[in-house]
Amino acid sequence: MGNVPLFLAAILFGRRTGAISGAVGMGLFDLLSGWTAWAPFTFVIVGAMGYTVGIITEKHKGFGWKVVAMIAALVIKIAGYYIAGVILYKNWVVPASSIPGNVLQVVTAAIVVLLVSGRLQVLAERMGLCTK
């Protein structure tokens, strides 16, 4: 569920906040939970996911664009973690086993975010919290 706050931060507060929250938040999670070798990859991959969701939703409004943004994040996650797995495992086949889990993570987060982001965006704008 770590992708939920990442996507919400990017949608509500833009690409910079999305990138920072993704890179730092998820990178620290890897460090603190024993996935130390993955932390540098996570910093870059999830930072890129947050930046991408943020930049797409800054430029384009609406539900459909949020879907597009999260599909782009899914592509980044699959490609990024596959390449990271190749580097860490020195194998082209083993990293493919992470793809279904990565898809499940992003799709689950996307469903949650798509259900709540519209209302949260309205509330954040009313409170003057959104930069948009």
Name the residue type at position 102.
Answer: N
Domain ranges of the chain: 3-126
Distances (CA, A) of 12 to 20, 46, 65, 83, 93: 13, 17, 14, 30, 38
Task: Give per-residue pLDDT as tens, 96-120.
Answer: 999 999 999 999 999 999 999 989 9
Q: Is the CB of residue 48 less than 8 Å from the CB of residue 80? A: yes
H or E element that contains 15: helix 15-20
Task: Give per-residue pLDDT as tens, 62-89.
Answer: 999 999 999 999 999 999 999 999 999 9
Q: Class of the 3-126 domain?
A: mainly alpha
Distances (CA, A) of 70 to 15, 50, 64, 65, 77: 13, 9, 10, 9, 10
pTM for the model stands at: 0.93
